[in-house]
Structure 1
Amino acid sequence: MSGQPDLGRADLVGMLAELTGKPADQIPHRLGSMELAWLVHLVEQRYDVRMDLTDDQLAGIRTVDDALTVFHTSLTAAADG
């Protein structure tokens, strides 16, 4: 993979909808630890990469948008590395 990953907010919301069985428009903005673990797992599978997220990065993820920002940083670093 090269360049910017094609991961968007809608992708993350879709992954959460798959986990919860709820429609995407009913997915809450805030993430719990189970939802975060699920997202990390699916993103790693989708991009065939291991995201080495630090404790500080993980602690800073409280919302879907937080996750998107951290995941983009990690995936871009993996693509450039």
Structure 2
Amino acid sequence: MKAKTHIPFQELVTIVKQLSPTQKARLQKELAPENTPEPKRSRLTQLLLKGPVFSDEQIKTIEETRKSINQWRRKS
């Protein structure tokens, strides 16, 4: 059985201010919220994030191809 005590807020603040930096860090860690869960992602989002991506070389090839096609369209 735990005994509960009522400490006025201002007195509690005074007590906390007297703690050493190590004790303050420990208290802050204890009061910090535990691991916040990541927001749930939809199946589509998960699929897209796990999907394949273009390499830098492939992107460069695509850009060069687009330039060539645009030049060819302008000549006609």
Which TM-score tier does this pair reach, normalised by the shorter chain? under 0.3
TM-score normalised over the length of structure 2: 0.23
Whichever of the two has the greater Rg, that structure is: 2
Larger relative contact order (C-alpha < 8 A, sep ≥ 6)?
Answer: 1
